[in-house]
Amino acid sequence: MTLADDKIAKLTAALRNAGVRVTRQRIALLSVLRDAKDHPDAEELLKRTKLIEPAVSLATVYRTLSLLEAAGVVHRHSFEGGSARFETATKKHHDHIVDLDSGEVIEFNSDKIEQLQNEIAAQLGFDVIHHRMELYCRKRR
């Protein structure tokens, strides 16, 4: 059992503990999400999951993603133009640059910006629950 498998084991135990059933489909999707180094959409996740567990449907992928999102395990990003993209919530908070030419998604984070966002909201009497910051860019040349 590798470290990665162990992570999934812990995760599924936690889910089971929360009254969520650990099915073949869910385990397969979790491992796909764990291995993903990009920001795949539901169709792409279905394709990858089918390689591990052929008995999965798109509806189940969506349902499971919503479940994991509600559990705080995955994040959903609705970038301009296409369908929603997903990633595990394991890394620390970050925002995204979208390359308008290639479609590539690059991650970045700025504590300064995050702090300014909170200050601005506070000044207006708000607490920031979550936010969206996406920079649509082109390679400088």
Q: For binding to Mn ion (CB under 5 A), which residues are involved?
A: 87, 107
Q: Which residue is associated with the tokens 């705080």?
A: 72
Classify strands 95-99 and 74-77 as parallel, antiparallel or unpaired: unpaired
CA distance 26 to 63: 10
User: Shortest gap between Cβ of 125 and DNA (angstroms)?
Assistant: 29
Q: Which amino acid is at 104?
A: E
Number of residues counted as binding DNA (CB under 7 A): 25
- Site mask, a copy of itself, residues 62-81, x = CB under 8 A? ----------------x-x-
CA distances from 100 to 20, 79, 81, 141 (A): 39, 11, 11, 14
**Residue 129 binding target from Zn ion, DNA, a copy of itself, none, CB below 5 to 8 Å by type:** a copy of itself
Write out the binding residues for a copy of itself, residues 87-106 only, by CB under 8 A. 97, 99-100, 106
CA-based nearest residue to 31, from 59, 15, 9: 9
The residues that touch a copy of itself, with contacts defined as CB under 8 A, are: 78, 80, 97, 99-100, 106, 108, 110, 112-113, 116-117, 120-122, 124-140
